[in-house]
Amino acid sequence: MVRRSTWIILGIFALLVGFTIFLQRYQVSKTENTATATPTVPPVFLYSQGDVQVNDIKIADNTGKYIDLYRDLAASSWAIEGIPTDQADSSKIETINNELLSVQVQETLTQTLSLAAIGLETPAYTITLTTSAGVKWVTYVGMQTAIGSGYYVRTDNGQVMIVSKSAIDNILSLLQNPPLLPTATPEMTPTETVAPTVPVGKVTPTP
């Protein structure tokens, strides 16, 4: 007959074996999860994200057409070259400025590509930013990607990158639609219609 103490010892042993198996499986699962975890990749921006103030934004195409947006420091607002300051939509230009500084790089190309093949040998557009420190960033905009979701761009003759088509199109649209304040429509003053009068003594007889 098995003694009671023996059963107790066997029970404790079984518990230890079960705990050991559980611990081993937990460690294996933890190792697998750690190995398959995808590291978070910080976003890459087209322009520096430091404490930067842009004072001038010039957008030009390869035909010579351009628009120059500059910060009027005296008026503390944005203005457009060749247009009265009070006609520029300073708020919209500031939004455009923030959008430019927030453009993210979708991909940086590491393989060697012909600049002519992607439209960067003779860029269709050029975007030039000038900071308050006098630093210039010149971005050349080439062709759209094959799937049409991005543009090939190159800043300061660096590496070729791909950025969002919608973001760049929004910037380039300023060439056709300058950021101007809406022009107020003058109110029309109604003109009173006066019935003609026939002078006395000049009545024309009815035939």
Give domain status of residue 49, yes or no.
no
Same domain, yes or no, for 68 and 161? yes
Same domain, yes or no, for 107 and 29? no
Give domain status of residue 124, yes or no.
yes
pLDDT of residue 50: 81
Give domain status of residue 197, yes or no.
no
Give domain status of residue 185, yes or no.
no
Same domain, yes or no, for 86 and 132? yes
- How far apart (Å, rounded) are the C-alpha atoms in residues 120 and 143? 7
Give domain status of residue 192, yes or no.
no
Tokens of 168: 């760049």
Query: Domain tally for the chain?
Result: 2
Residue with tokens 């910037």: 171
What is the reported pTM? 0.70
Same domain, yes or no, for 32 and 76? no
Same domain, yes or no, for 20 and 109? no
Same domain, yes or no, for 29 and 90? no
Same domain, yes or no, for 155 and 94? yes
pLDDT of residue 122: 95
Tell me the per-residue pLDDT of 69-78, one tens digit each, with 9 for 90 and over.
Answer: 999 988 889 9
Provide the residue type at 151 as one letter. Answer: Y
Give domain status of residue 121, yes or no.
yes
Same domain, yes or no, for 33 and 59? no
pLDDT of residue 110: 85
Contact (Cβ atoms closer than 8 angstroms) between residue 80 and residue 68: yes
How does the average pLDDT of the chain come out, rounded? 82
SS (H, E, C) the chain: CCCHHHHHHHHHHHHHHHHHHHHHHHHHHHHHHHHHCCCCCCCCECCCCCCCCEEEEEEEECCCCEEEEEEECCCCEEEECCCCHHHECHHHHHHHHHHHHCCEEEEECCCCCCCHHHCCCCCCEEEEEEECCCCEEEEEEEEECCCCCEEEEEECCCCEEEEEHHHHHHHHHHHCCCCECCCCCCCCCCCCCCCCCCCCCCCCCCC
pLDDT band at 202 (very low <50, low <70, confident <90, very high): very low
Tell me the per-residue pLDDT of 57-115, one tens digit each, with 9 for 90 and over.
Answer: 999 999 999 999 999 988 889 999 999 999 999 999 999 999 999 999 999 998 878 99
Same domain, yes or no, for 68 and 110? yes
- How far apart (Å, rounded) are the C-alpha atoms in residues 138 and 182? 31
Same domain, yes or no, for 171 and 70? yes
Tell me the per-residue pLDDT of 48-61, one tens digit each, with 9 for 90 and over.
Answer: 878 889 999 999 99
Give domain status of residue 166, yes or no.
yes
Same domain, yes or no, for 61 and 140? yes
Q: Which domain holds residue 58?
A: 54-175
Give domain status of residue 182, yes or no.
no
Same domain, yes or no, for 63 and 143? yes
